[in-house]
Structure 1
Amino acid sequence: MTRFDAADAADRRKLFAEAVLAHRNRGSPFLTVEVDPADVPGVDPGGEDDDGEGTPVPWIQFAEKTFNLDCTDAELDRLKGLLDEFPEFRIERIDRPEEAEGANVRVTARSDASRLGQFLDRALQVTYDLDDDYRAWVTEL
């Protein structure tokens, strides 16, 4: 891989597919994609929300055939709705730690890198209610 970020749907999907292939070829434990803080509603580029508190930037990790992400109940509802577009993907597990306000969700799929890249892009955009031109970074590979 020679680039690690993209800001339009076609480029993001290509980037994500390339990241999945690189992850598989390297045998790395997982890959991580994060949204640019400047593109997250209510978060300034420094990573703080409107109240000055630190707000986690949306991220998704992928390992083998499983996506892992944290989300609120509203975000989880949007993710569940998105799965209608991806019938080969399913929620495998939802954990709700007592010390957290949301849920950790694991979505499994057996698919090619291109389809996994499409899902990753749509999951970030739909789940976290991002604009079409959000920028994402492959931060760990």
Structure 2
Amino acid sequence: MGQTRFDAVDPADRRTLFVDAIIAHRERASPFLTLEVDPATLEGEGESESDDGDESAGEDAPDPELGIPWLQFSEDLVNLDCTDEELEALKSLLEEYPAFTIDELTRPEDAEGINVQVSARADANRIADFLDAVFQQVYGLGEEFRVWVVAV
């Protein structure tokens, strides 16, 4: 029997963790699965920014106004918050995942960013690949970053 893990850094380990979490979520029929980037991972992402307000150097890093990047999965839907720029990156990414489509966009008046629901009718492996790609291509995280499963 395998050991229980709740976090992973290596890309292959992250995808395995995501598959395991999706399967556990489905088996438990839990309301949702939540994945969250380790805050320590983000501390290194924007270090190239200068103190004079020049944000161009760290523009690939997640928007600090939105907090720590997270993804939720429930009943074949992936839920995430993003900026307009991140939404454009998500739309580009979806071209590589034809089984995944934007189901709903919400722009809350009392919050920064856009809440996006993506229909994800696929097997656990394909969903895990998509989740990892979102963290890397939409939130601009590198190849190696730590993600925690915070709810299953």
The verdict on a shared fold, with TM-score over 0.5 as the criterion, is: yes
Aligned-pair RMSD on alpha carbons? 1.6
Aligned to 1:47: none
Matches within 5 A, 1:14-53: 14-40=16-42, 41-42=45-46
Asked if the contact 2:66–2:112 (Cα under 8 Å) also holds between the matched residues in 1, the reply is: no
1:43-78, Cα deviation, whole Å (9 max, x unpaired): 8xxxxxxxxx87610000000100000001111111
Gaps of 5+ in 2: 48-63
Stretches of 4+ moved more than 4 A in 1? none
Please give the TM-score of this superposition, normalised by the length of structure 1.
Answer: 0.88
Aligned residues: 132
Q: Which has the larger radius of gyration?
A: 2
The structural deviation recorded for 1:42 is 3.5
Change in 2 beyond 3 A, CA 1:55/1:108 = closer
Alignment deviations for residues 15-59 of structure 1 (CA, whole Å, 9 cap, x no partner): 00110000000110000000011222348xxxxxxxxx8761000
Tell me the TM-score normalized by structure 2. 0.82
Cα displacement (A) at 1:98: 1.2
| Identity percentage of aligned residues | 55
